[in-house]
C-alpha cells in the first residue's frame, strides 16, 4: 500500500489539476453543447430537440449584426494593432534614447482592465464634453465627433479603444522577435549595400513569420472574446448596433432567459476559437518537438 502510494505520488499530486480541468472545462463544454440541442428556456431541459436553436440563431437579426460587427472589429483591430506594433518595434529598435520609458508607456494599457479603459474612453468620446468640445473650443466650430452615439460609427469607437489597449503588446512581441535575430545577418546585408528599409522589408520582417502568426492568433482570440470593453463603452448600443457574440451570449442567457439559444451561440464562439487555436497548438508542439 505504502509502496503503491510512493510510486504513484506524482500522479496523485497532479490529479486535482487534471480532475478540475476535466470537469470544469471539458465537462462543462460538453454540457453546453448538449443544452444547445435542447429547447431550454429559463431552466435547462434535457430532452433533445435537434438543431432548432442553431436555426433560430442564424435567423436572428441581432446575432447576424453581432457576427457582422465581429468581422469588422477583428479586421480593423488586427490591421491597426499589427501595423502600429511593427512601426513602434522597428523604430524602437534603432538604439533610441529613453527606450525603456517609451516601452513602458506603450504597454501600460495592458495592465488596466477593459472596464477602466472603457470608462475613460467613454468620457473622452462623449460628444457633449469630450473631444468634440475640445476641438470646438480650439476654434474648429463645425467639428463633430459623435461616433459613440451614432449607430453607423459606434463600432469604430470600440476599435479605437481596443487598438489603444493592445497595440503595445504587439510591439513587445515584435521587439522581442527582432532582438532575437543575429546581428551578423543585418551586418552582412548592409555590407552587400542594402539600406535600412530593405533590410527590414526584405530580410527581417519575413523572418518574423512566427511572430505574425502568434500576434494573429492572440488578437483574433481577444476579439472573439470581446465583452468587457463593449459593456463599458456602449452596452451594445446605440440600439443593438455594437452587439458582439460574447455580449449576445450573456444577454440571451441572463436577461432573455433563452438558455438553449445562448448555449448555441456559445458553441459557435467555441468553434470559431477552436478553428484558430488548434492549428496554432499543433504547429507550436511540432516546433517544440523539432527542437
What part of residues 209-228 is at the interface with another protein (CB under 8 A)?
217-218, 221-228
Which of 42, 281, 283, 286 is in the footprint of another protein by CB under 8 A? 281
Which of 55, 116, 185, 275 is in the footprint of another protein by CB under 8 A? 116
Does position 275 interact with another protein (CB under 8 A)? The reply is no
Angstrom CA distances, 216 to 91, 158, 222, 265, stand at 21, 19, 10, 23
Which of 169, 208, 251, 258 is in the footprint of another protein by CB under 8 A? 169
Does position 92 interact with another protein (CB under 8 A)? The reply is yes
Nearest distance, CB of residue 9 and another protein, angstroms: 5
| Dihedral sign of CA atoms 151, 155, 160, 165 in order | positive
Does position 264 interact with another protein (CB under 8 A)? The reply is no
249 grid coordinates: 451570449
- Restricted to residues 118-147, the positions that interact with another protein (CB under 8 A) are 119-124, 129-131, 133-134, 137-138
- Restricted to residues 20-49, the positions that interact with another protein (CB under 8 A) are 20-22, 24-25, 27-29, 31-32, 35, 44
Nearest distance, CB of residue 27 and another protein, angstroms: 8
Burial class (CB in 10 A: 0-12, 13-18, 19+), 285: exposed
3 state SS of 38: strand
What is the rounded CA–CA span in Å between residue 30 and residue 250? Answer: 18
What is the rounded CA–CA span in Å between residue 267 and residue 205? Answer: 36
Helix (H) or strand (E) segment spanning residue 281: helix 259-290
In the bound state with another protein, the residue whose beta carbon lies nearer, of 120 and 205, is 120
Stretch that binds another protein, among 57-65, 143-151, 182-190, 266-274 (CB under 8 A): 266-274
Which of 64, 176, 185, 207 is in the footprint of another protein by CB under 8 A? 176
In the bound state with another protein, the residue whose beta carbon lies nearer, of 117 and 242, is 117
Nearest distance, CB of residue 5 and another protein, angstroms: 10
Nearest distance, CB of residue 203 and another protein, angstroms: 19
Which of 1, 2, 17, 191 is in the footprint of another protein by CB under 8 A? 17
What is the rounded CA–CA span in Å between residue 145 and residue 143? Answer: 7
x/- site string to another protein, residues 224 to 263, per CB under 8 A?
xxxxx--xx--x---------xx--xx--xx----x--xx
First to last CA, the chain: 40
Question: What count of Cα atoms within 13 Å lies in the side-chain half-sphere of residue 135?
Answer: 13
Long-range interactions of 264-267: CB distance < 8 A, separation 24+? 264/36, 264/53, 264/54, 264/56, 264/57, 265/57, 265/63, 266/32, 266/36, 267/32, 267/33, 267/36
- Restricted to residues 60-79, the positions that interact with another protein (CB under 8 A) are none
Nearest distance, CB of residue 61 and another protein, angstroms: 20
What is the rounded CA–CA span in Å between residue 106 and residue 74? Answer: 21
Stretch that binds another protein, among 48-56, 63-71, 82-90, 145-153 (CB under 8 A): 82-90
3 state SS of 185: helix
Does position 13 interact with another protein (CB under 8 A)? The reply is yes
Amino acid at each position: 500500500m505504502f509502496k503503491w502510494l510512493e510510486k504513484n505520488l506524482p500522479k496523485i499530486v497532479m490529479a486535482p489539476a487534471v480532475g478540475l480541468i476535466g470537469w470544469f472545462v471539458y465537462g462543462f463544454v460538453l454540457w453546453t453543447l448538449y443544452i444547445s440541442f435542447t429547447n431550454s428556456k429559463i431552466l435547462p431541459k434535457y430532452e433533445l430537440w435537434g438543431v432548432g436553436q442553431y436555426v433560430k440563431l442564424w435567423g436572428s437579426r441581432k446575432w447576424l449584426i453581432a457576427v457582422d460587427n465581429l468581422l469588422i472589429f477583428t479586421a480593423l483591430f488586427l490591421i491597426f494593432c499589427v501595423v502600429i506594433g511593427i512601426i513602434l518595434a522597428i523604430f524602437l529598435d534603432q538604439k533610441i534614447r529613453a527606450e525603456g520609458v517609451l516601452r513602458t508607456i506603450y504597454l501600460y494599457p495592458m495592465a488596466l482592465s477593459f472596464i477602466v479603459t472603457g470608462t475613460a474612453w467613454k468620457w473622452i468620446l462623449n460628444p457633449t464634453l469630450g473631444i468634440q468640445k475640445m476641438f470646438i473650443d480650439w476654434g474648429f466650430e463645425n467639428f463633430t465627433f459623435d461616433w459613440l452615439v451614432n449607430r453607423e460609427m459606434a463600432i469604430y469607437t470600440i476599435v479605437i479603444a481596443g487598438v489603444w489597449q493592445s497595440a503595445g503588446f504587439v510591439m513587445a512581441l515584435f521587439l522581442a522577435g527582432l532582438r532575437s535575430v543575429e546581428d551578423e545577418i543585418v551586418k552582412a546585408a548592409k555590407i552587400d549595400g542594402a539600406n535600412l528599409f530593405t533590410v527590414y522589408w526584405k530580410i527581417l520582417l519575413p523572418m518574423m513569420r512566427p511572430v505574425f502568426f502568434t500576434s494573429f492568433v492572440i488578437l483574433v482570440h481577444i476579439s472573439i472574446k470581446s465583452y468587457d470593453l463593449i459593456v463599458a463603452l456602449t452596452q451594445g448600443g446605440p440600439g443593438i448596433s455594437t452587439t458582439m457574440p460574447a455580449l449576445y451570449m450573456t444577454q440571451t442567457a441572463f436577461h432573455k432567459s433563452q438558455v438553449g439559444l445562448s448555449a448555441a451561440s456559445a458553441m459557435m464562439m467555441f468553434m470559431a476559437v477552436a478553428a484558430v487555436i488548434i492549428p496554432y497548438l499543433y504547429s507550436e508542439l511540432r516546433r517544440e518537438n523539432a527542437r
